[in-house]
Chain A
């Protein structure tokens, strides 16, 4: 790769060959003789009082070192609301909740002993949906809701209800909006919980040294949160907790909460600090560890006869499951972007975070956006249909543009928003919209297209940080050290690209440390929210500036010229007016040595730090405030072939046009977007938790919980618009999550058009279409 052309090039990820040779190591690949194994006993009930736990027989079982129950560590955890005992204490609130931990010499002995623990339960009425949960007199899942400590500001649990938080958006004047609305569409939508299904199940290890140092290794997107939370919950000096994360086998948000790390610590603590590992089985990864939120929504949209959106009223009930985890922030994330990227002056939205007796929810790719987008985009299609307007034209007419405002009343600019109109126009061409949305294909088949717009901003904490350290090798090559976790999107390679471009040097001369060690790597808040390129990229640019300043200053001394006469490229500091006069990096970076042996300056060390600026909390009454630095907008389409008799379908094409700001690595960008689209099509067509009448999840294995397989993928079309985000590295916007956002909606719009049925629930299985169409044999 030639220096200075690396941004915009499809460079291979740095760890590519490690990943095709089996050399790449993930947390559980470090085989340590003598490691102890922790296994969980989990709840067979969705809601029950724990009457007693009898571990007498289990503790005597061969190889067993310790058995831990909730009362051994009576703490409450939670990243927003501290409502969650790591091991259930007085009652269980979901099927699969940890009730006891067995620590044994071998996995086999631990598994055997788990079965010997006897727990007496007294079942309680199960709250099986958010709709039921918000009814008055619904059974309470958290009786002490009012007493829970708030881990953050701006959260409003409603005592003696199942409502953990409520976010309100009040923009404009609703009576005025409805008065201007000549056509109104209203509908309710339901989306089930589903799971991340990262191929590597969550797992963690803990060891406590004699001096009190706690060593954790974990498959996590948030090693720095692990450190802070362990320190806080167990009163350990933060500097004594060190967390290591090697390569991670997929995250999708599911590895950003802290769960198994706490259990591993508790397990190690109970065996005198010995090294203990805990690894989820797939079944545990699906139900015991947190999943994707469920959602029920009521949307009412109004427009003028001429097709301009005038008013939106929406209620979202986020199914956070048994514990709040990040659920209140998911409800907030939905609220801040609730309208989709459309210009609506009058908006009323209540987004509630609601407890149920389902497995608990955490962040999932797009942080709630894929879920509410399904609702709003289905409603948009319904309204377009009532208006007799082409759904794409209707979206074009209402696309949010510069100088307008978002639901939280942020004024939009081309830089902070991007260009949705350009995306829609490209989409129209790429998906061949002119063919028509519905075409008879013969043989009892119909081909149909559906579209969806998308947008997303980050909703990260207002003080999120990222840092970069750069060191030189004596040959002039650079080592890049960042707290970003390599979970799959190749972010460390992206950072290396940003650095190579800035330093105008060869990418192969930049070495990255893939593993994160919180003691060594500067903090990167969390590897989430598609914010890595923005935050760590900005930190990288600053670290590069820091290096270049030092290089110029030392070279000026050596070359006896003012620093401003010097430029840097190809690992040289050279005279602008005569580039043949230069000093090579290798002669500067570990101190410059004069011919007589005198040396000056030492190693050149670069540092770069970044913190979010101008982000605000939302006003409690109106929701007014700035949630994130900028948005990424896009438009998507799906084309299906629908069998009118069997009500089955194939997905033929799926298209995304995204305003990426700047595409840093085209093949990687395409892969991230199609990967998100694939996951979105899975969510749209098949993925859902299924429960029995007692709230137990029935499909806890990959044999019954189905994800997309090869051969089911459509032809993918990915296209970009590049409207730079001025404050982002090379103008690049976040893109890692966005492929998923509009896919279920576009699929549902296509299938609703094809089947003539209003498909307002997910997933859209042939059986669901059959049911909506009357359910006749």
Chain B
């Protein structure tokens, strides 16, 4: 039960959506864009979010595409995690999506919602960061295409009223060797102690992490250390860990010391597995 009332808008076009936002915002109705909705509903129930108007983006055709056009894969922001894993256009992304929450939730959670939400893990971002993904965003009445990394650092940084319409990924990433490992406290379905996505492109390892720090990230410094062929895996990992962008998380899922232990083991397994792939 959501302990307050709001109004519901389900625009059919991008233009309707952004216009509705502007208008509701001007009436101080604190509108929120709504996609899968699970996070908004569960936070509203415990008074952690408040709004007088939700704008459901799921009926907008552009937000629902999932297709290859020439050498690019286009994924609408309202595409559900389960549809991505069912249709499997980009195996690393499918794998990551199939380990977020549980399967029934994956039938509701959208890729845009996972990146735009407040839950800190945002694990769908890892394969996108690794594949130099671009995003099409609504921007003052028109659409623009920018690298994901520009608008997603730790979290989504779009100006008020803007949202991601589509993710655009080069087709070649659907075929590169990859590893995805998610480690939890002891339940398969849980927030991650460590989520690792890694792939090999042009002979170089790329790696992104969630669950280690209070946000997901890909780090050039860490990748440089991991690709330093002069060192053994153990040393590369030790050196890489010096470049973590924030202290390791320390919470009820796992202490920072234990997370570090899991991280090292997981990185070692990930990198060894990746090395064996061609």
Q: Do A and B assemble together?
A: yes
A706–B186 CB distance below 8 A: yes
State the Cβ distance, A755 to closest chain B Cβ, in Å: 14
Tell me the bound Cα distance from A690 to B5 in angstroms. 34
A712 at the binding interface (Cβ < 8 Å): yes
Q: Which applies to chain A's interface (DSSP): helix, strand, loop or mixed?
A: loop
C-alpha gap A765/B258 in the complex (Å): 11
The stretch among B71-79, B200-208, B249-257 that forms the contact with chain A is: B249-257
Which residue of chain B is the closest to A106 with respect to CB atoms? B1
A107 within 8 A of B: yes
Complex CA distance for A706 and B102, rounded to whole angstroms: 13
* B261 interface neighbour in A108, A709, A777, Cβ under 8 Å: A777
Cβ of B3 within 8 Å of any chain A Cβ, yes or no, is yes
CB distance from A657 to the nearest CB of B (A): 28
A108/B254 in contact, CB under 8 A? no
CB proximity to B under 8 Å, residues A266-324: 283
Chain B: CB-nearest residue to A281: B45
B195 to chain A, nearest CB (A): 16
- Roughly how many angstroms separate A119 CA and B276 CA in the complex, as a whole number? 62
Residues of A within 8 A of B47 (CB): 115
A107 to B5, CA, bound (A): 12
Task: Verify A698–B258 contact, CB threshold 8 A.
Answer: no
Contact A108 B186 (CB under 8 A): no
Closest to B2 in A: A108
Which residue of chain A has the shortest Cβ distance to B46 in the bound complex? A283
Q: Decide if B185 is an interface residue (CB 8 Å cutoff).
A: yes
Nearest-neighbour CB distance to chain B for A706, whole angstroms, equals 4
Closest B-chain residue to A107, C-beta based? B1
Q: Please determine whether B188 and A777 come into contact, CB atoms closer than 8 angstroms.
A: no
- The segment from A377-385, A416-424, A715-723, A768-776 found at the interface with B is A768-776
CB-CB under 8 A from B5, the residues of chain A are 108
User: At the interface, yes or no: B264 with Cβ under 8 Å from chain A?
Assistant: yes
> Contacts A108-B2, A646-B265, A777-B260 known; A690 to B252 CB distance under 8 Å?
yes
The residue of chain B having its C-beta at the shortest distance from the C-beta of A692 within the complex is B252
Residue from B3, B186, B265 within 8 A of A111 (CB atoms): B3
The yes or no answer to B223 lying at the interface (CB within 8 A) is: no
B109: shortest Cβ distance to chain A, in Å?
14
Contact with B along A377-408 (1 / 0, CB 8 A): 00000000000000000000000000000000
Chain B CB within 8 A of A12 CB: no
B187 in the interface (beta carbon within 8 A):
yes
Q: Is the CB of B188 within 8 A of A711?
A: yes
Question: Which of A107, A704, A711, A776 counts the most chain B CB atoms within 10 A?
Answer: A704
The docked-state distance in angstroms from the alpha carbon of A646 to that of B270 is: 13
Contacts of A596 in B (CB 8 A): none
- B21 CB → nearest A CB, Å: 25
Query: Which residues 653-710 of A have a CB within 8 angstroms of B?
Result: 685-686, 690, 698-699, 704, 706, 709
Interface string of A323-349 (1 = CB under 8 A from B): 000000000000000000000000000
For the complex formed, measure the closest distance between the CB of B183 and the CB atoms of chain A, giving whole angstroms: 8
Tell yes or no: A228 within 8 A of B by CB.
Answer: no
Contact status of A771 and B188, CB under 8 A, knowing A108-B2, A699-B252? no
- A767 touching B254, Cβ below 8 Å: yes
Rounded to whole angstroms, the CA-CA distance of A155 and B208 in the bound complex is 60
Q: Check B188–A111 contact: CB distance below 8 A.
A: no
Q: Which residues of A contact B190 (CB under 8 A)?
A: 706
CB contact under 8 A between A777 and B257, given known A645-B265, A698-B252: yes
A709 touches B186 (CB 8 A): no
Q: Mark B235-267, 1 if CB is under 8 A from A, else 0.
A: 000000000000000001111011011101100
Which of A283, A685, A686, A709 touches B189 (beta carbons < 8 Å)?
A: A709
Check: A766 CB closer than 8 A to any chain B CB: yes
Cβ–Cβ contact B258 & A706, under 8 A: no
The answer to whether residues A775 and B257 also contact, given A646-B265, A690-B252, A706-B185 and a CB cut-off of 8 A, is: yes
Interface assignment of A513: CB less than 8 Å from any CB of chain B: no
A112 close to B (CB within 8 Å):
yes
Most A CB within 10 A of own CB, among B188, B190, B257, B261: B261
A767–B255 contact, CB under 8 A?
yes
Given A767-B254, A775-B258, A112 and B4 contact (CB-CB distance below 8 Å):
yes
Assess the B4–A686 pair: CB atoms within 8 A: no
Contacts of A777 in B (CB 8 A): 257, 260-261, 264
- Bound together, the chains give a CA A418 to CA B175 distance in angstroms of 64
Instruction: Compute how far the CA of A115 lies from the CA of B3 in the bound complex, rounded to whole angstroms.
Output: 10
Chain A residues in 8 Å Cβ range of B258: 767, 770-771, 775
A704 to B119, CA, bound (A): 13
Contacts of A711 in B (CB 8 A): 188
Chain B residues 120 to 144 lying within 8 A of chain A, measured CB to CB, are: none
Per the 8 Å Cβ criterion, residues 6-40 of A in contact with B are none
Give Cα A149–Cα B190 distance, bound, in whole angstroms.
46
Please report the C-alpha to C-alpha distance between residue A706 and residue B254 in the assembled complex, in whole angstroms: 14
Output the least CB separation between A772 and chain B (Å).
12
Partner of A765, one of B186, B261, B264, B265: B186
Please indicate the chain A residues that have their CB under 8 angstroms from the CB of B3 in the complex.
Answer: 108, 111-112, 115
Q: Taking the nearest CB of chain A, how far is it from the CB of B86, in angstroms?
A: 20
B188: A residues at CB distance < 8 A? 709, 711-712
Q: Looking at the assembled complex, report how far the CB atom of B257 sits from the nearest CB atom of chain A, in whole angstroms.
A: 6
Q: Quick one: given A107-B1, A646-B265, A777-B260, are A766 and B189 in contact (CB under 8 Å)? A: no
A107: chain B residues within 8 A (beta carbon): 1
Interchain CA distance A112-B188 in the complex, whole Å: 36
* Chain B 169-205 interface 0/1 with A at a Cβ cutoff of 8 Å (1 = within): 0000000000000000111111000000000000000
Shortest Cβ distance from B251 into A: residue: A698
Asked if B186 contacts A685 (CB within 8 A), the reply is yes
* Smallest beta-carbon distance B44→chain A, Å: 10
Residues of B38-53 whose CB lies within 8 A of A: 46-47
Chain B residue with minimal CB distance to A776?
B261
Interface string of B210-232 (1 = CB under 8 A from A): 00000000000000000000000
Nearest A-chain residue to B261, judged by Cβ = A777
B262 contacts which chain A residues (CB < 8 A)? 646
Closest CB of chain A to B186's CB: distance in Å?
Answer: 5
Tell me which residues across on chain A come within 8 A of B261, comparing CB atoms.
770, 775-777
Beta-carbon contacts under 8 Å, A100-117 to B: 107-108, 111-112, 115
CB A630 to nearest CB in B, in angstroms, measures: 38
Nearest chain B CB to A698 CB, angstrom units:
5
Closest to A115 in B: B47
**Complex Cα gap A465–B11 (Å):** 64
Q: Which chain A residues numbered 77 to 113 have a C-beta less than 8 Å away from chain B?
A: 107-108, 111-112
Task: Give complex CA distance A646, B252 in Å.
Answer: 19
Note all chain B residues with C-beta closer than 8 A to A115: 3, 47
Contact with A709, one of B46, B185, B187, B265 (Cβ below 8 angstroms): B187
Distance (whole angstroms) from the CB of B53 to the closest CB of chain A: 17
Chain A min CB distance to B99 (Å): 14
**Residue in A690, A698, A706, A777 whose Cβ sees the most chain B Cβ within 10 Å:** A777
Contact yes or no, B252 A108, CB < 8 A: no
CB of A150 to closest CB in B, whole Å: 39
Query: Taking the nearest CB of chain B, how far is it from the CB of A156, in angstroms?
Result: 37
Residue of A with least CB distance to B193: A767
A111, B1: Cβ atoms closer than 8 Å: yes
Please measure, in the bound complex, the distance between the C-alpha atom of A699 and the C-alpha atom of B185, giving whole angstroms.
13
Question: Which chain A residues lie closer than 8 Å to B257 at the CB level?
Answer: 775, 777
Q: Which residues of A contact B186 (CB under 8 A)?
A: 648, 685-686, 706, 765-766
List of A residues within 8 angstroms of B189 by Cβ: 709
CB distance from B157 to the nearest CB of A (A): 27
B11 to chain A, nearest CB (A): 26
Beyond the given pairs A645-B265, A777-B261, 17 more chain A to chain B contacts, judged by CB atoms under 8 angstroms and listed by A's residue number, are: A107-B1, A108-B1, A108-B2, A108-B3, A111-B1, A111-B3, A112-B3, A115-B47, A283-B46, A646-B262, A648-B186, A698-B252, A704-B253, A709-B189, A766-B185, A775-B257, A777-B264
Which 3 interchain pairs have the tightest Cβ spacing? Answer: A111-B3, A777-B260, A706-B187
17 cross-chain CB contacts under 8 A: A108-B1, A108-B4, A112-B4, A115-B47, A645-B265, A686-B187, A690-B252, A706-B186, A706-B190, A709-B187, A709-B188, A709-B189, A765-B186, A766-B185, A770-B258, A775-B258, A777-B261
